[in-house]
Amino acid sequence: MRKVPLLVLFLLITIQNADAEPQSKIAIDDTTHANRIFTLERILTEVSGLVASGPNAVFAHNDEHAIVHEISLEDGSVIRSFAFGKPTVEGDFEGITIKGEFIYLVTSDGLLYEARPDTHRKRIPYNVYDTNLGKICEIEGIAPDNIDGFLLLCKRTRSNKDFDRLVIYHWSIANRLSPPQPWLDVSIKDMSAGGPINTLHPSGLERDLETGNLLILDSHAGAMLEITPYGRLINYLEFSASEHPQAEGLAIMETGAIAIADEGGKKSGTITVYAPH
């Protein structure tokens, strides 16, 4: 039998792994049904963002005030609520995330609010940074990168009025005096490669820390897509209008479950939890 040198064998394995299909981390598919749906309090009728705050709880906010509510995914109860500033900061808040000891809220015009979470009914001091992205695009979501900054999802840019591109910027806390840098800019046609997406109206962003894949909500289509960090579509899940009439925020839980928040409109806002496979 002919022996293969170790170096050649290593290269063959590396190439095979590089060409392998990326593994989807979406914990649900088109045969899965929600196992928990919670009706939110009136203050969260216009719920806009979610992030996991613990093994079975999420932080949520609405789109008008910098008030964060921690919601139990056991029974939907409010564990605690705290507000940024006194009086409470107002703005068009579109995303929430956690990095280190801090919680962050971002507005559609690129203001990033930073604070340490506190106990129930506390008013907390905060820092605010201008990412300068408001001049470039309307922000609809935020997720941490794997270094010191954030990925900021653009709903639309001045050059993307037809919603035919996915545009994500990177902004660094350490280099906050520098302008934000394009992180991903891909046409929906190229990303979908003849698939189910023609336009994209993004409304929420989450990053899987294990794979680096991004989960993005499309509020108009009532869908969730998963892409690689290079913009390749690897999973697309379309919900019924009754399940998610206006999906605005999502969170990946430690268990692999996914929580999705919907604005209520004339009804109450909701959080839907999908169990992992």
Q: What is the pLDDT of residues 186-245, one digit of tens each?
A: 999 888 776 778 889 999 999 998 889 999 999 988 899 999 999 999 999 988 888 899
Q: What is the pLDDT of residues 84-137, one digit of tens each?
A: 999 999 999 999 999 999 999 999 999 999 999 999 999 999 999 999 999 899
Domain boundaries, the chain: 27-274
Residue 22 binned pLDDT confidence (cut-offs 50, 70, 90): low
pLDDT for position 133 = 94
pLDDT for position 55 = 93
Q: What is the pLDDT of residues 137-170, one digit of tens each?
A: 999 999 999 888 999 999 988 776 778 899 999 9
Q: What is the pLDDT of residues 55-73, one digit of tens each?
A: 999 999 999 999 999 999 9
H/E stretch holding 68 reads: strand 67-72
Q: List, as own/partner pairs, every contact residues 82-87 make where C-beta atoms lie below 8 angstroms and the sequence separation is at least 24, other chains included.
A: 82/117, 82/118, 82/119, 82/120, 82/121, 82/122, 82/123, 82/124, 83/122, 83/123, 83/124, 84/113, 84/115, 84/123, 84/124, 84/126, 85/123, 85/124, 85/125, 85/126, 86/123
Distance (Å, whole) CA 151 – CA 231: 14
Task: Name the one residue in this structure whose structure tokens are 């960090």.
Answer: 229
DSSP assignment of 176-208, as one string? Answer: TTSPPEEEEEEEHHHHHTTSS-S---EEEEEE-
**Between 242 and 50, the higher pLDDT residue:** 50
Contact status, residue 201 vs residue 220, Cβ threshold 8 Å: yes
Residue 30 binned pLDDT confidence (cut-offs 50, 70, 90): low
- Amino acid letter, 11: L
CATH class of residue range 27-274? mainly beta
pLDDT for position 106 = 98
